[in-house]
Structure 1
Amino acid sequence: MRFGILGETRVWRDDGAEVPLGGPARRALLTLLLVRPGEVVSADRLGDEIDPDGALSSHALQSQVSRLRTALGPEAPIERAGAGYRIVVPPDDVDACRFERLAQDGRAALRDGDAERAAALLREALDLWRGPALADIAEGETAQAAAVRLEEQRLGALEDRIEAELRLGENRVPALRELVGRHPLRERPAALLMRALAAESGQAEALVVFEETRRRLADELGADPSAELTALHRELLSADPSPSPAAPPVPLTAFVGRDDEVAEVADLLRVARLVTLIGPGGVGKTRLSVEVAGAVTDEVCFAELAPLRDGAGLPQALLGALGLRENGLHLGGGAQTPLDRLITALSDRVLLLVLDNCEHVVDDAAALASRLLATCPRLRILATSREPLGVIGEHLRQVRPLDAQAAVRLFTDRAQAVQRGFTADPEVVRRICAALDDLPLAIELAAVRLRTLHVDDLAARLDDRLGVAARGSRGVDDRHRTLRAVVAWSWDLLSEPEQLAARRFAVFAGGATAESAVRVCGTDADTLESLLDKSLLEFAGGRYRMLETIRAYAAERLDASGEAESVRRAHAGHLLDLARTADPHLRRAEQLEWLPVLAAEHGDLLAAVRWAVETRDAETALDLIAAASHYLWIRGASASIASQATALLDAIGDEPPAGRGEEYVMCVLSAAADAAGRPVWQRHRAVAEKALAAAWSGAEPGRYPVVLLMWMMRNASDGDPRGAFALVASQCDRSEPWVRAAARFVSGFGPLGEGDDASAERVFASAVEGFRSLGDRWGTALALDALAGLAGTRGDQATALALTDEALALTERLGALEDGADLLVNRGDHLIAHDAAAARADYEKAAGLARRAGSATYLAAALRGLGDIALSEGDPAKAGRLFDEALERLDPHWIKSAANRVRTLAGLGRVAEARGDHAAARARYGDAAESAAAVMGTATPEALRAMGLPENVVEAVSAR
């Protein structure tokens, strides 16, 4: 039997026949019982909800229940429970419950990067709706609250579905425009529309949406856009920082025993485009690939795939390894899908791509490798895996355990590193290596034990330990049985202080500095160094780390020790102290120093919050969330703790713990950072507002200044914002400089949108001054770019060039590749009329940056510019090739691309005209005119000149 309350209340039997329910009172009764199937609803509440006027007596209610039982039959029993009733049916038989489950699963799939599954789940969820939620109950507190909750979830699921469809490349601009029209003060649809327009049309329309949203918020709520929407606006104006491709890890020890294999694989890569190193775990595939990467002359990108949970995130992982990341403006579609960004970035690049540890994503790795090799002719791939990829043209190289002689050399080399002058009977060493299956990792772990053991004792203990391990499960592969045995054996040989430090170190999710490890583990630097010497720890980048295999074993030992809770509490306390120390620095110029410090601890911060919430240590959890909120806000990662904040609020209840009102407010705001937290926000908002007023109404300010800005932004789109803005306005004298600079920058777009360029210029200049005083390079570049645009509009090219140069210098220091490419093309367009050589240099540099960033849009713009140069130099054949290539890369649906499309089509018309093909020239000019009209609404000479077309082309297009 199926039940529907998402619309009129209806019931269907399994064969599809509808069950007659009777009159409105009976439908209302069933609706109330189905809101929470299986939960008891009191008779008083049922009576009040069904008949708010109080006319429904207890006897009448019992009569309605009896009739409903008769209609439903035994398939849906209605039970009397205490002073109320409940209906006993599976929650998934109720459309509202099924909707909530599907919507939650869809959101989780979207968060995990599986857009196709997310879209399918969310479509299924939304298809369950037949009308307004709980349509058969007009009044009643319970019904109204449930209906509001369901309708909010429906809207959130719709937004999630649209985001998933955007990631799959579907055009959802019309649907988003309609959604924004129906919910003009809701910022997520506006953000999705901006992203969709950036991907489908270009930057201009997306900026218009931002400005319209900003005006509505200001006019109707007196509010500024949220931090998320403002960050998206900044992203529209500039590119993301991009580091260089990931280099192979730097080996910490000498390479022993495989020199011939390195040469063979390197030689094979000269004739083969895909080579896969296969073999069991621990055999040395990764180390061999590192050595091969160092032996080749090509540029190398090393992609470690072991952290991936599945193949869905493989393209994004490769973008990250290449020094790119999925551009937040482009959720999918066109030339901006992760795979297409990879192809754009690698299409003309001579590169060796190392895919390390493919075995758990082998099918996806094979498909991706095949596609990249087919579309990127200068690319070569070296993969490591326990099994072949199975791609046509793949060359396999089996990596086997070391031969006997090399294994002995490796053991001896590592032993001499820990024991000066080490010598031993070769037969004894050989016996040790044979017991370890000649696996390099196992040999290295064993050799470092010679710091405290004689080699004969080592051989005896090792033989015994592995003999015990060999009697384990036959279903476990040899690598895991062997390595677990080696780790367990190595552990037993540690001293008690070393074991204590090693098992406590397992609480660190992302490694630790020496200071952190000493404090949390209750150890000393010498013990850490001893663990480093014995390969239980590694040290790189100023941090100690533990191999995951060893960390898993150490965590087991910690749980068995009885001290896990105290160690994890010490870990959380350390992270709290660090976050509190960093917080004031994030509001000053030294934020550039402190953000990387916190970023290095990001995984541990989240782990500490999760532990505190799971153990119901409310005070520690509140303190951690509050202290970390400013950092997470700057990183755009507030949603990463939203679910934990929600769970914490559920445990706390409706009142904040004594003395932690401000922390409670930060927790409420953190929960609301995720759309799923909206009901939490609605439930806790009033209490949080009182707590915030109490914290900030006295002479002394609160502990967390960022809470004011977060509170103002959250209230801008939810509830009545007047009280929130009055509270924030009362703190103006306490506002910090970074808040003022950001406010000036955002406020400059108001007069700009109204055509008051002079006022906009004054405000932007003030923002530049504010950001510079703080040392904020990114904010300064954004404001300078806005000023350059104003200068170009009024025809002051000298000023526009100077401002663009200054912005370029800042973006180069930031590594903002796409923003730099865009600025270079703009500068080239300014220069081409009087300095063609400088313009060519800018276009060529822009093309290089665009290729590195995988940006088809900016690469096409640069190629178009080079085509203009070729035409000006009298080489129409070269110009034609460049224009054709640019036109192929341009997406006609992008407004950002459309202006370049007009210029490219006009350039092709000029090429045809130079060849004497007047019919083709007229056709191309006609195409240019149509494209111009599509972009500007008209193809008048003024509009064409505004696009930067030369006068002879304007005349030809206008005549056409």
Structure 2
Amino acid sequence: MRIGVLGAVELWGPDGSPVALGGSRPRALLAALALSVGRAVPFEQLVDAVYGEEPPGNAQHALQSQVSRLRALLPAGSLARHPMGYVLTLDPDEIDAHRFERLAVSGRELLALGDHANARKALTEALDLWRGPAPTVRLGDLRLSALEDRIETDLALGRPDIAGLRQLSQEHPYRERLRGQLMRALAADGRPGEALASFDDARRTLADEFGADPSAELSDAHLAVLRGANPARPVPAQLTSFVGRDNEIRQVTSLLDRSRLVTIIGPGGAGKTRLAIESVRRLGEVCFVELAELGDSAQVPQAVIGALGLRDAGLFSGGESPDPVARLVSGLTDRRILVVLDNCEHVVDGAARLARRLLAACPGLRILATSREALGLTGESLCPLPPLATPDTIRLFEERAHAVRPGYRLDAGTVGRICAAVDGLPLGIELAAARLRSFELDEVEARLRQLSHGDRTAEPRPRRCGPWWPGAGTLAGSRRTTVVERTMAKRLAVFAGGARLSAVEEVCGLPADVLAGLVDKSLVEVNAGRYRMLETVRAFCVDQLGDEQEQARRSHAAYFLRLAEEAEPRLRTRDQLAWLATLTAEHANLMAALRWAVGADREIALRLAANTAWYLYLRGLRSEGLPLVVELITLLDKEVPKGLVEEYALCAISAGLHLDHVTEVMRDLGHTLRFPYLVMLWAAIGTAEVITMEMFGDDPWSHAFVETAEGLRTLYFGELVASRAAFEQALASFREVGDRWGIANTLDQLAGIAALEGDPVASLALTDEALQVIGELGDVEDAAELQCRRADNLLRIGEVATARAIYDRVAELGTPQALAAAHRGLGEIARLAGDLDTARALYGRGLSEYEPGPIIAAEIRARILCGLGAIATADGDAERAREHYEQARDEALTRLNLPIAAFAEQGLSGGDLTWEQALHRLRERFVSLW
């Protein structure tokens, strides 16, 4: 017999059929008893439950009548009299409310253990018991908690219901956990702007209703969105079971507990990568870095930056690209994370240098490396990986064989000999088992015997792959692999990171059905429309290209140059996000093509570097291609290929080489700019006086860019009315073309003008809109800088606690410019509170973190110096105050930035001048000289 109280009160018999209970009173009595099953319920409580506020005259007698009728419906002896009242003695699991609680607790425990699939199963079973409103407030709260737990499992499993989450958040606006989960779901769905907007809505709701700040949990979710706009690359999911290696997993786990650098070493195919994945799957924050496709050791830092989701600098920044290792140090200094460096052997020197630098500077960092040789660092713990034990090799072969050929009868002796022939190495076993799709078991054994024992009639063993790799033998000499398939495989090896079908057909010059044959033979894998070789197969095929290598590389570079040239102008249109996604998917191919072209065809290299420049800028990856650009311009020297003046200028400015020559060749350009953002880079080198309006086209983006330049010119001269008009027109133009970079940039400038005019509320609204737009580009650095300016406005309107929380969160992100801005803001809070020692220390920290570069960074430094001047004034040290204010003013004037210089001039006047008066004085003294 079952009782339901989660909704309408119901009673079901042993056969599952409903039992008629009658009216509302017997249902109320049953619910009260069932909710306290196994415990006596006092008479008074039952009377209240059954009759409410108007009980009958003889309430106990009336209750006895209701009990008698109910007892007749229940199993004999299950409803008994008690000195205090009545007690229902049934198995609690027969009552849906108790079963719900048990399953909800079980689901939460499984969630805590990281068993998300079984946790979701238990929680879903619990929530499915509900048929209506909650009978008690406590159960209603438990139901919401179980819903939140199930949402947590959905987030972990990568399938959150965003629409459902949004609805729940609207129904329960004060449930901060729900708000945080919605933010995480939106960010995971590629909508960080909406996630940040959701946090702002939650923050306003809490402030308006309760005068409270967001909880630590919600603030952490906000930080996770900021940090996760470019999320760290997780451990890759695996499609097959993991066989054996229990001892090795325990060993790796134990070593990671004791050592900050652990290296799994072993021969190719031993399963180092898979062991690393299985060992760290349930650890905390883990970032997986694949190094197999890198060309040289110098690329290791940038590969780690990409895997961590870090960017070079914000979109509002200019100047030189930062040192990638310094960028990593700043991004990891205060972060507890495990980084997996996979396949280090061919870049072992670079991996070792980077590991030494990061481990020394980042105390919360641990590194797990996989390599065929040790990194050779002090403190490194090694985990040598032996071949699989014989029973595990046979079990692995059988599992993989039955996956490709279900029901196939395997001879244990033959399987054992095959596993021995490939030295018990897991990759060799898996590839050998996969051959059963095309061969019989004895044929697989025979082919391996030929490869292992040097049959004079067999093809030569591939140089990079030992006898454990059946794929090499299959490709090189199999009658089942045609000549055209082998040709396709060799040409396919020029792709880095896989490719779409159209690219494969064009570059390889062969039809799709040939590629399908390689897929059938397990030499190529396909995932989400992209075709990719196993790295061991690709290594062999690269060796086999021979005389075809030059043509294959040229065809590959030509294809991706056309893609880059098609995409480049569309990055300044409403289709910006779609084209960014396209180029991001082909990033490895674009860089591989550029790397080849620098050494083989400088004109292709110049065109490719120029046409990927804005993409790398928007994605925050400028430093990745910079070494190649420097090499290219060094090779070209001052030789400008015909018709490629702009391309040369873009690359030379990026490389910081031959800048005088750039000015010379640009004076005689004679046509409208094809790369209009070249002006932004050009202005940074100080030769912008040769820029003419004839260089810009009639398209809306160019008009918007010119209007932005006018806005900046008038802003730095302190002409706020004219500057606002220019930026508003630029904003309208950028909205017309749909360029998020331009929209966010102009919104930020308008917010700055509003702040200068003393309207922090208007400035705050503009900054919030800029944050939402910038989130669409996944720009965590600019989001951090905008958050600091948001906090500045909150501080001006008296929301000190919220401003402090924002500065603290931004400081945790670790980007150099954001660090300086955050510590300046925290110093300002301390100074205004009268804690001058703390303020001085925070300002000093901000100065040490400041990196010379863009105008925004220079403003941060000048504002810190003004803060130090104010502290010196408060200390009565007029001389030190004057030094700080003069330094701030002079540095701002060097940048032609009158508004910031006016703050310093105001300080020098001892407060006698208003900001507007100080600005007027500076304009009279300096603008005529400019």
The two structures share one fold, judged by TM-score above 0.5: yes
In the TM superposition, what is the alpha-carbon distance from 1:457 to its structure 2 partner? 0.7
Tell me the residue number matched to 2:486: 499
Tell me the residue number matched to 1:461: 447
Change in CA separation of 1:568 and 1:791 when aligned onto 2, cut-off 3 Å = closer
In the TM superposition, what is the alpha-carbon distance from 1:718 to its structure 2 partner? 13
Map of 1:74-473 to 2, 5 A cutoff?
Answer: 243-296=230-283, 298-308=284-294, 311-327=297-313, 338-360=324-346, 362=348, 365-366=351-352, 368-468=354-454
Residues 241 and 816, structure 1, Cα contact 8 Å, conserved in 2:
no
Rounded to whole Å, the distance in 2 between the matches of 1:609 and 1:713 is: 21
The farther-off stretch of 756-765 and 409-418 is: 409-418
Rounded to whole Å, the distance in 1 between the matches of 2:318 and 2:751 is: 25
Tell me the residue number matched to 1:862: 822
Tell me the residue number matched to 2:801: 840
From 821, 827, 840, give the equivalent of 2:790.
827
Letter in 2 for 1:805: D
SS of residue in 1 equivalent to 2:526 = strand
Residues 490 and 544, structure 2, Cα contact 8 Å, conserved in 1:
yes
Rounded to whole Å, the distance in 1 between the matches of 2:666 and 2:824 is: 53
Letter in 2 for 1:843: R
Change in CA separation of 1:635 and 1:410 when aligned onto 2, cut-off 3 Å = same
In the TM superposition, what is the alpha-carbon distance from 1:780 to its structure 2 partner? 0.8
Please list the CA deviations of residues 779-802 of structure 1 after superposition, one character each: whole Å capped at 9, or x if unmatched: 111111111111111212222122
Please list the CA deviations of residues 226-270 of structure 1 after superposition, one character each: whole Å capped at 9, or x if unmatched: xxxxxxxxxxxxx99961222223334322222442244224423
Letter in 2 for 1:848: R
Tell me the residue number matched to 2:523: 536
Relative CO higher for 1 or 2, CA cutoff 8 Å, sep ≥ 6?
1
From 533, 541, 547, give the equivalent of 1:546.
533
Change in CA separation of 1:708 and 1:500 when aligned onto 2, cut-off 3 Å = same
From 847, 854, 869, give the equivalent of 1:890.
847
Residue 578 of structure 2 corresponds to residue 593 of structure 1: yes
Change in CA separation of 1:881 and 1:368 when aligned onto 2, cut-off 3 Å = farther
- TM-score, scaled relative to structure 1: 0.58
Rounded to whole Å, the distance in 1 between the matches of 2:556 and 2:462 is: 34
From 789, 807, 810, give the equivalent of 2:752.
789
Change in CA separation of 1:599 and 1:313 when aligned onto 2, cut-off 3 Å = closer
Structure 2: stretches of 5+ with no match in the other structure: 1-225, 852-857, 893-899, 915-930
Residue 783 of structure 2 corresponds to residue 815 of structure 1: no
Tell me the residue number matched to 1:931: 884
SS of residue in 2 equivalent to 1:832 = helix
SS of residue in 1 equivalent to 2:367 = strand
In the TM superposition, what is the alpha-carbon distance from 1:398 to its structure 2 partner? 1.7
Residue 499 of structure 2 corresponds to residue 515 of structure 1: no
Change in CA separation of 1:858 and 1:489 when aligned onto 2, cut-off 3 Å = same
Map of 1:423-822 to 2, 5 A cutoff?
Answer: 423-468=409-454, 480-482=465-467, 486-493=471-478, 494-496=480-482, 497-525=484-512, 527-540=514-527, 542-559=529-546, 571=556, 574-575=559-560, 578=563, 582=567, 585-586=570-571, 588-601=573-586, 604=589, 630-632=611-613, 635=616, 706=674, 735-822=698-785
Structure 1: stretches of 5+ with no match in the other structure: 1-238, 657-662, 697-704, 911-920, 955-960
Change in CA separation of 1:313 and 1:327 when aligned onto 2, cut-off 3 Å = farther
In the TM superposition, what is the alpha-carbon distance from 1:424 to its structure 2 partner? 0.9
Tell me the residue number matched to 1:102: none
Rounded to whole Å, the distance in 1 between the matches of 2:695 and 2:384 is: 66
Change in CA separation of 1:857 and 1:567 when aligned onto 2, cut-off 3 Å = closer
In the TM superposition, what is the alpha-carbon distance from 1:313 to its structure 2 partner? 5.0
Rounded to whole Å, the distance in 2 between the matches of 1:556 and 1:341 is: 36
In the TM superposition, what is the alpha-carbon distance from 1:456 to its structure 2 partner? 0.4
Rounded to whole Å, the distance in 1 between the matches of 2:889 and 2:794 is: 24
Residues 449 and 490, structure 1, Cα contact 8 Å, conserved in 2:
no
Identical columns (%): 38
Change in CA separation of 1:772 and 1:539 when aligned onto 2, cut-off 3 Å = same
Rounded to whole Å, the distance in 2 between the matches of 1:610 and 1:859 is: 34
Rounded to whole Å, the distance in 1 between the matches of 2:597 and 2:867 is: 59
Rounded to whole Å, the distance in 2 between the matches of 1:557 and 1:938 is: 60
Residues 278 and 384, structure 1, Cα contact 8 Å, conserved in 2:
yes
Residues 788 and 821, structure 2, Cα contact 8 Å, conserved in 1:
yes
Residues 568 and 615, structure 2, Cα contact 8 Å, conserved in 1:
no
Please list the CA deviations of residues 465-521 of structure 1 after superposition, one character each: whole Å capped at 9, or x if unmatched: 2222899999x9997433677513444234215324323323434421023223444
From 812, 826, 832, give the equivalent of 1:851.
812
Residues 641 and 670, structure 1, Cα contact 8 Å, conserved in 2:
no
Please list the CA deviations of residues 332-391 of structure 1 after superposition, one character each: whole Å capped at 9, or x if unmatched: 99xx75555434433332211222234455566455545544543333222223333444
Letter in 2 for 1:379: L
Rounded to whole Å, the distance in 1 between the matches of 2:497 and 2:419 is: 32
Please list the CA deviations of residues 60-84 of structure 1 after superposition, one character each: whole Å capped at 9, or x if unmatched: xxxxxxxxxxxxxxxxxxxxxxxxx
In the TM superposition, what is the alpha-carbon distance from 1:330 to its structure 2 partner? 9.3
Letter in 2 for 1:706: R
Rounded to whole Å, the distance in 1 between the matches of 2:888 and 2:259 is: 47
Rounded to whole Å, the distance in 2 between the matches of 1:749 and 1:369 is: 42
Residues 291 and 344, structure 2, Cα contact 8 Å, conserved in 1:
yes
In the TM superposition, what is the alpha-carbon distance from 1:432 to its structure 2 partner? 0.9
Residues 240 and 327, structure 1, Cα contact 8 Å, conserved in 2:
no
Rounded to whole Å, the distance in 1 between the matches of 2:298 and 2:597 is: 31
Letter in 2 for 1:776: D
In the TM superposition, what is the alpha-carbon distance from 1:632 to its structure 2 partner? 4.4
Letter in 1 for 2:844: L
In the TM superposition, what is the alpha-carbon distance from 1:855 to its structure 2 partner? 2.6
Rounded to whole Å, the distance in 1 between the matches of 2:796 and 2:662 is: 57
Change in CA separation of 1:886 and 1:535 when aligned onto 2, cut-off 3 Å = farther
SS of residue in 2 equivalent to 1:295 = coil
Rounded to whole Å, the distance in 2 between the matches of 1:373 and 1:628 is: 33
SS of residue in 2 equivalent to 1:891 = helix
Residues 899 and 947, structure 1, Cα contact 8 Å, conserved in 2:
no
Rounded to whole Å, the distance in 1 between the matches of 2:695 and 2:842 is: 53
Rounded to whole Å, the distance in 2 between the matches of 1:472 and 1:491 is: 9
Rounded to whole Å, the distance in 2 between the matches of 1:487 and 1:855 is: 46
SS of residue in 2 equivalent to 1:255 = coil
Please list the CA deviations of residues 711-757 of structure 1 after superposition, one character each: whole Å capped at 9, or x if unmatched: 999999999999x969757xx5xx22211111211122222233322
Letter in 2 for 1:531: L
Tell me the residue number matched to 2:59: none
The farther-off stretch of 840-849 and 709-718 is: 709-718
Rounded to whole Å, the distance in 1 between the matches of 2:235 and 2:909 is: 47
Rounded to whole Å, the distance in 1 between the matches of 2:476 and 2:608 is: 37
In the TM superposition, what is the alpha-carbon distance from 1:463 to its structure 2 partner? 0.7
Residues 343 and 372, structure 1, Cα contact 8 Å, conserved in 2:
yes
Please list the CA deviations of residues 549-590 of structure 1 after superposition, one character each: whole Å capped at 9, or x if unmatched: 423432444446xx7787667656655664565466445321
